[in-house]
Amino acid sequence: MEWLTCIRKAIGYIEAHLQDDISVQDAAEAVHISPFFLQRGFSVMTGMGVGEYIRSRRLYEAALDLKRTEDKVIDIALRFGYDTPESFAKAFARFHGSSPMQVRNAGAPIHVFLPLRINVQLHGGNEMNCRIRKQFSMKVIGFQKVFENETAYAEIPAFWDEVIAKYTKNIYAGDPPANAYEKAVADNSIGEYGICIDDLGDGRFRYLIAGRYAGGQVPEGMVVYEVPAGDWAVFECCGPLPQALQSVNTRIWQEWLPGNEEYELAGNVNIEWYDSTGKTTDEDYRSAIWVPVRKKA
């Protein structure tokens, strides 16, 4: 499905089910796309996560119901997914700046939050450095952690800091491996890839700090994963992190996918590649984003 059509249909699905128990997973399944890719693209294009959008729309519609109906507050709270009047009142006040009863009885102003309309302006004259690459299946080994779609982008950098401090710092300093974990890091160049694997459901995905698996011992707690074969759109990046990679990522979702007449998203794996020979603060540091794609029918 064309990317803009996918996002618009996801918004349409959310709007039709505001009073139902829906999640990012449900919206993604409705438009036949990975929840990870829906969340990432939605966030880049709108500046908010899917869950935040659902909550904001529900709280706006709840405020309208307070103004135009005489329904009990508890009934409105339940209608829009809140189990108790207390949890509803807390979320409502945080969003609108007034309590439900202040809106109903005193006509307090509300925060207007209308359905999103997605429009993209494509910019010419500055092509992205992208190539389509056929990739055989690839085994990687690394440290894995499960993240929630809603909070992943704030939490993943801390995971990197944790792994670097605990397992890679000595290796990167040139010291010989002191244990099985440091040996695995050295033998498999762990840290070359950051891999998102969207195969858990329930708004969660696996993230691996990984390297190509060269065989040998897999220390307890580490995992081996086989990246499936397929076509990948490889977006090369040059510049210090994280700014350079974030800029390329934004352009992928705002420009390359909406304007691409030949390829669309496929699969449920996303890869970031990091040059292990350079410093991430260098002006010419090299990195890349790999996005699984297929030719449009």
Domains defined for the chain, CATH in brackets: 3-106 (1.10.10.60), 130-295 (3.20.80.10)
Distance (Å, rounded) from C-alpha 236 to C-alpha 254?
A: 17
Eight-class DSSP state of 203: T
Distance (Å, rounded) from C-alpha 246 to C-alpha 258?
A: 18
Distance (Å, rounded) from C-alpha 184 to C-alpha 171?
A: 10
CB atoms within 10 A of CB 168: 19
pLDDT above 90 covers what percent of the chain?
69
- 5 band by pLDDT with thresholds 50, 70 and 90: confident
What are 9-61's pLDDT values in tens digits? 999 999 999 999 999 999 999 999 999 999 989 988 888 999 999 999 999 99
What are 108-152's pLDDT values in tens digits? 999 999 999 876 554 544 456 789 999 899 999 999 999 998 888
- Which pLDDT score is estimated for 152? 86
